[in-house]
Amino acid sequence: MRSTVVGIVALVSLAGCFGPPSQVNAKDSIKLNGTVKTQEGGASPAAKVKLIRHPDPLQALSQVFVAVGSIGLACIGGQLDICSSFEESDSDGGGNYQFAMRGADTQGSTGEALTFTSFAGCPSGGCAVSTDFQIQRTTLTIPAMNFWSDAGTLADDTAGNPGFAWPTLESRIGGAAADDYRVTITTPDNVTIWQQDAAKASSLSIDRRVTQDSQGQWTVVATRKQPGNGTDFTFNWFAPPQSYPNHGLIPLSRNQDCYTQGADGMPSRLARPCPVTDGNPATRFVPVQAAACPSGMTCPATPLNNWIMVDIGFSHPLAFLVIYDLAVTNATANVLVETSDDMTSWTLQQTLKGQAYQTTTLAGAARYLRLRLSDPMAQFGGAGNSEIAIFAPF
């Protein structure tokens, strides 16, 4: 989920979200230093390095919280509300940079060690590198941040499905193999259209229907964890973005009406055009709000926003479903994909896990498609759920 990402933004609950206790004194002077390098290992002078401090859960109640590993995409996309520097430093002629702060700056409201991200973009633009870590020493050397400047390739297969390939991280940067690769496709305005994980592989194919009739750019992100002296580092390398063409596929559900579970349990229509069928990944599901509880009373929780339903307008053969940026209040809840012709009798098509971006097959004909959460008290949230696309058979 945001994924990712990147999606990459989500609110978190307080339970279990505090980091390990800080090992530095609040009055200590903290010094960080590191080096920015080219892919080949040479110094990269004049690189702007941002140090970004993640809020702790109590601070996040009034701020945007970003999952570890996702800030880099926000910085590349120019999302300054997320990519907000705690400190900045320009690398010198040897690629060296440094930061200084107080011990209290590294600690959250309950004395836990906060997570920081060090981010550097290629001086020529495009590629970037970041690393996430906690500060548990008064002097900390961040491992060298090498840019991954090699671009991958994109080619459609005989069925017209895009295939991506890229050089392995270790063959260009050196060191151990990447723990994970992830392909992200964005609009020209850097709004995420699609994300898909490749695990440790250096290639990936996607179904051309997932990007509908959108075009933009794509990049691959490589992740690798690296142990350090008292602090572990999670590195993310962002390859230079490349053009992604329009595949011209418009789903059956485009601009069709959609509904969610209202406060009375009945369908409550979303705005027209529906934000989850309009083909625009920048618009998102807007949850129905619960009625205000009268002052001095205790009101029981009632089911709300437990499902999203799309009305295609007429019964039609169905074949393929795409879910974009799934965001729910209970990450362990399954997503039940159901279809109907009358909104009374429902047929279970698939049971899915809470993966942010996913596809599944459909069978038979129906007018209505519903995504319902297995936990009746769980809700679809407003921090994601950008699109639902339903395709007819080819």
How does the average pLDDT of the chain come out, rounded? 90
Is the model's pLDDT at 291 over the cut of 70? yes
Mean pLDDT (whole number) for 159-170: 97
Is the model's pLDDT at 163 over the cut of 80? yes
Mean pLDDT (whole number) for 66-79: 67
pLDDT band at residue 2 using 50, 70 and 90 as cut-offs: very low
Mean pLDDT (whole number) for 20-41: 96
The pLDDT value recorded for residue 141 is 95
pLDDT in tens, 232-263: 999 999 999 999 999 999 999 999 999 999 98
Mean pLDDT (whole number) for 191-201: 96
| Residue 46 or residue 1, greater confidence | 46
* Residue pair 129/141 in contact by the 8 Å Cβ criterion: no
pLDDT band at residue 72 using 50, 70 and 90 as cut-offs: confident
Q: Which of 19-23, 221-225, 368-372 has the lowest mean pLDDT?
A: 19-23
Percent of the chain with pLDDT over 90: 79
Is the model's pLDDT at 61 over the cut of 50? no
Q: What are the counts of helices (DSSP H) followed by strands (DSSP E) for the chain?
A: 3, 25
pLDDT band at residue 11 using 50, 70 and 90 as cut-offs: very low
Tokens representing 343? 């909104």
Mean pLDDT (whole number) for 111-134: 92
Mean pLDDT (whole number) for 13-25: 71
pLDDT in tens, 322-350: 999 999 999 999 999 999 999 999 999 99
The pLDDT value recorded for residue 3 is 34
The pLDDT value recorded for residue 16 is 42
The pLDDT value recorded for residue 300 is 85
Provide the residue ranges of all domains of the chain, joining segments of one domain with +.
Answer: 1-248, 258-391
The pLDDT value recorded for residue 55 is 84
| Residue 298 or residue 345, greater confidence | 345
Q: How many CB atoms sit inside 10 A of residue 344's CB?
A: 7
d(CA 387, CA 266): 22
Distance from chain centroid for Cα 233: 20
DSSP tag of 36: E
Is the model's pLDDT at 80 over the cut of 70? no
The pLDDT value recorded for residue 76 is 76
The pLDDT value recorded for residue 230 is 77
The pLDDT value recorded for residue 12 is 35
**Distances in Å between the alpha carbon of 364 and those of 249, 313, 314, 347, 393?**
21, 16, 13, 10, 10
CATH number for 258-391: choose from 3.40.50.620, 2.60.120.260, 3.40.50.1370, 1.10.3860.10: 2.60.120.260
| Residue 295 or residue 368, greater confidence | 368
Percent of the chain with pLDDT over 70: 91
The pLDDT value recorded for residue 126 is 82
Is the model's pLDDT at 380 over the cut of 80? yes
What is the CATH class of 1-248? mainly beta
Angle at 116 between CA 61 and CA 74, to 5 degrees: 75
At 373, the amino acid letter reads L
CA nearest to 168, candidates 237, 216, 120:
237
Contacts of 127 (CB under 8 A, 6+ apart): 121, 147, 148, 149, 237, 238, 239, 240
The pLDDT value recorded for residue 308 is 98
pLDDT band at residue 77 using 50, 70 and 90 as cut-offs: confident
pLDDT band at residue 69 using 50, 70 and 90 as cut-offs: low
The verdict on pTM exceeding 0.85 is yes
Q: Which of 53-67, 129-143, 276-290, 336-350 has the lowest mean pLDDT?
A: 53-67
Tokens representing 355? 């993966």
